Amino acid sequence: MKKKFLSLLLVGVMSTSLLAGCGSSKTNEASNTGDTNEGQVATTEDTSKKNPVTIKTVSMFGGTDPNAVVYEAVNEEFAKEYDYITIEDNSQSSDEDWKASVAADFAVGNEPDVIQFFTDATANTILATDKFVTLDEIRAEYPEYAQDTMDSALDAVTNPDGVKRAVPTTGYWEGLYCNKDLFDKYGVALPTDWDSFVTAINAFKENGIIPIACSLNNVPHYWVEYLMLYASGSENYTSVPDKAPAEWVKGLETFKTLRDMGAFPEDTDTVDDAYIGQLFRDKKAAMQLDGSWFAGGVTDTENTVVIAFPGIEEQKAEAGAMVGGISSGFYITKKAWEDPDKRDAAVKFVEAHTCKSAVQRYWEAGGAISKAAVQVDAIDGMTNLAYSALEYTNAATSINAPTDSRLGQEPYAIITSNIVKISTGAVSVEDVLNEALSLYAQRNE
């Protein structure tokens, strides 16, 4: 019933993660966290005299997301450090009905004090209520707020209206996961362009291996993004036109080409995304396009690698163009800001989660392969997978935010929900794109 969603940072895949040695220095970190927080407000010495305060917090670090463990650990340490602050946390992996309920909370004045949420067009509904404090306002009172966070990361989470409000932890990228052992076994080279990609697909097909693990019915989002990006090039891809551009159309029409080649599983129209991940992990499928969060569930980290999207026919994008970014962060609401006790507690809370040591932990929990919002320290003993991810991201020629970050939820859903029909040729790509774009136009008049 719940639909998993691509653009989330966080839909955790499986509980196993390839992290190494996270939390080895928990006690140290806790005290570090304290130091960073206390700098500007000289309250460390008399915390006992503080009024007891309860803050309501909400985050998307829930479920099996590897971040959830870190999030809860930081909260626990925070509660110990500040015994006068009680945290009432309500975190959950994000999905459509969850977003609807968060929006409803904001509408009726039931919003939390701190929320970790999207910063792109997904947040527009909530931003419309004007219930967040801006970064400038906070920094006017707390000059050292978010001091560890890199400016580029803060820029990345600027809201669509051009105002900075959120403080991020880590970002994400999307890439092509390959079972390298299967490629070796059948003597296929890792694809680098459309032709070698087609060769690989055909080779696997002949050998009874599913070339691409993907559920067109459930999560076609990654393919939507890359096909459109490579067909149209960064600039066209990241603009929102009035009418369906020919390049976008061409990109999405590739779904049909791939389907006709037999690149997707037999049951791609019905299978769940969870099964898809399993096909790939069980070596029944050779390639899977997915986000950096998928790495956490990969069990064979020695023979699995991430590579750049190979490309499509007559592509306009430069090789190495990547989809990714940072698109969520911690916000403080005006409700908390206007209450002096809560204001202080909320600021401390956000700092506890976004300071260098906390982000380091989030980054490591995610397999040390995503993009961190602070300067992180490299870790030892990288797996092949993590190493290939590092190479991949370092070689990226451009980093592009996905389409839903511009279109917003509802218009984007029109596209993704029609992918199965596009892949069979039952609907025209142009009609689908035009419907989505006209809804976007109607909303943004």
Partner 1 sequence: MLYKRKWPLLLFIVPGLLFMFVFLYIPFVENIKNSFFDMTAIIEMPGTKWKFIGLENYKKLFVDQDVKTAIFNSMKMMVLTVVFEVGIAFVLAVMVSQIKKLQQVFRTVYFFPVVISATAIGLLFKLFYNYDGGMLNQILEHFGKDAINWLSPELAFIMVCIPTLWSYIGFYFVILLTGLSDISDDIYEAASIDGCGHFKQVFHITLPLMKPVFFTCVTLALTGALKVFDLPWVMVPNGAPQGVTHFLGTYMYQVTFGLSNFDYGSTLAFLIVILGIVISRLVGLFTKEKEEGR
Partner 2 sequence: MVTKRNKKIKPSRVIIYTVLILWAITTIFPFVWVIINSFKPSSEVLTSSFSLPKAFSGDNYITAFSRLNVLNAYKNSLLISCSVTAGVMVLSALMSFGLTRYQFKGKKMIQSLIIASLMFPVFSTIIPVFRMIVSWGLLNKNIAVILPQIAGNLSFATVVVTGFMQNVPIEMEEAAYMEGANVFQVFGRIIVPLCKPSLSTVAIFSFLWSYNDLFVQNIMIRDNTKFPISTLLQQISSLYGTDFGLMAASVAIIIIPVVIVYIFLQKNIVKGLTAGAIKG
Task: Give the binding site for partner 1 (CB under 8 A).
Answer: 1, 3, 96-97, 99-101, 103-104, 106-108, 125-126, 128-130, 217-218, 265-267, 269-271, 275, 279, 284, 409-410, 413-414, 417, 420-421, 424, 426, 442-443
The residue (of 217 and 354) whose beta carbon lies closer to partner 1 is 217
Does residue 36 belong to the site contacting partner 2 (CB under 8 A)?
Answer: no
For 196-220, give one letter per residue: b (16+ CB within 10 A) or e.
Answer: ebbebbebbeeeebbbbbbbbbbbb
Rounded to a whole number of angstroms, the minimum distance from the CB of residue 90 to partner 2 is 5
Spatial CB neighbours of 284, under 8 Å, sequence gap ≥ 6: 209, 210, 213
Does residue 265 belong to the site contacting partner 2 (CB under 8 A)?
Answer: no
For partner 2, the binding residue among 24, 27, 45, 108 (CB under 8 A) is 108
> Which two tokens mark 242?
């009035």
| Rounded (10°) angle between helices 356-365 and 340-354 | 50
For partner 2, the binding residue among 105, 300, 313, 339 (CB under 8 A) is 105
Half-sphere exposure of 43 (CA within 13 A, CB side): 19
The residue (of 20 and 103) whose beta carbon lies closer to partner 1 is 103
C-alpha Rg value of the chain to the nearest Å: 22
Rounded to a whole number of angstroms, the minimum distance from the CB of residue 431 to partner 1 is 11
For partner 2, the binding residue among 96, 272, 300, 430 (CB under 8 A) is 272
The residue (of 107 and 319) whose beta carbon lies closer to partner 2 is 107
For partner 2, the binding residue among 32, 36, 43, 64 (CB under 8 A) is 64
Does residue 62 belong to the site contacting partner 2 (CB under 8 A)?
Answer: yes
Do the beta carbons of residue 44 and residue 34 sit within 8 Å?
A: yes
422 contacts which partner out of partner 2, partner 1, none, CB within 5 to 8 A by kind?
Answer: none
238 contacts which partner out of partner 1, partner 2, none, CB within 5 to 8 A by kind?
Answer: none
Does residue 129 belong to the site contacting partner 2 (CB under 8 A)?
Answer: no
- Alpha-carbon dihedral sign for residues 92, 95, 97, 103: positive
Piece of 33-41, 58-66, 198-206, 415-423 that binds partner 2 (CB under 8 A):
58-66
| Measured distance CA(368)–CA(377) in Å, rounded | 10
Residue 299 is which amino acid? Answer: T
Do the beta carbons of residue 260 and residue 423 sit within 8 Å?
A: no
Rounded to a whole number of angstroms, the minimum distance from the CB of residue 83 to partner 1 is 36
| Measured distance CA(169)–CA(74) in Å, rounded | 13
For partner 2, the binding residue among 205, 275, 384, 398 (CB under 8 A) is 275
Does residue 97 belong to the site contacting partner 2 (CB under 8 A)?
Answer: yes
Rounded to a whole number of angstroms, the minimum distance from the CB of residue 14 to partner 2 is 8
Spatial CB neighbours of 424, under 8 Å, sequence gap ≥ 6: 256, 259
Do the beta carbons of residue 423 and residue 223 sit within 8 Å?
A: no
For partner 2, the binding residue among 31, 47, 101, 192 (CB under 8 A) is 101
For residue 285, the Cα-to-chain-centroid distance in whole angstroms is 24
> Which two tokens mark 388?
């290939």
For partner 2, the binding residue among 20, 87, 96, 98 (CB under 8 A) is 98
Rounded to a whole number of angstroms, the minimum distance from the CB of residue 272 to partner 2 is 6
Rounded to a whole number of angstroms, the minimum distance from the CB of residue 68 to partner 2 is 10
Rounded to a whole number of angstroms, the minimum distance from the CB of residue 104 to partner 1 is 5
DSSP conformation class of 408: -
The residue (of 103 and 150) whose beta carbon lies closer to partner 1 is 103
Spatial CB neighbours of 312, under 8 Å, sequence gap ≥ 6: 194, 227, 230, 231, 251, 254
Residues 282-311, mask of contacts with partner 2 (x by CB under 8 A): ------------------------------
Q: What SS3 state is found at 175?
A: strand
> Which two tokens mark 432?
């689908």
Does residue 76 belong to the site contacting partner 2 (CB under 8 A)?
Answer: no
Give the number of residues in contact with partner 2, rule: CB under 8 A: 23
Piece of 43-51, 98-106, 284-292, 419-427 that binds partner 2 (CB under 8 A):
98-106
For residue 180, the Cα-to-chain-centroid distance in whole angstroms is 25
Does residue 194 belong to the site contacting partner 2 (CB under 8 A)?
Answer: no
| Measured distance CA(170)–CA(436) in Å, rounded | 30
Do the beta carbons of residue 149 and residue 373 sit within 8 Å?
A: yes
> Which two tokens mark 383?
């797996």
Residues that bind partner 2 (CB under 8 A): 1-2, 4, 12, 62-64, 90, 92, 97-98, 100-101, 104-105, 107-108, 110, 272, 274-275, 277-278
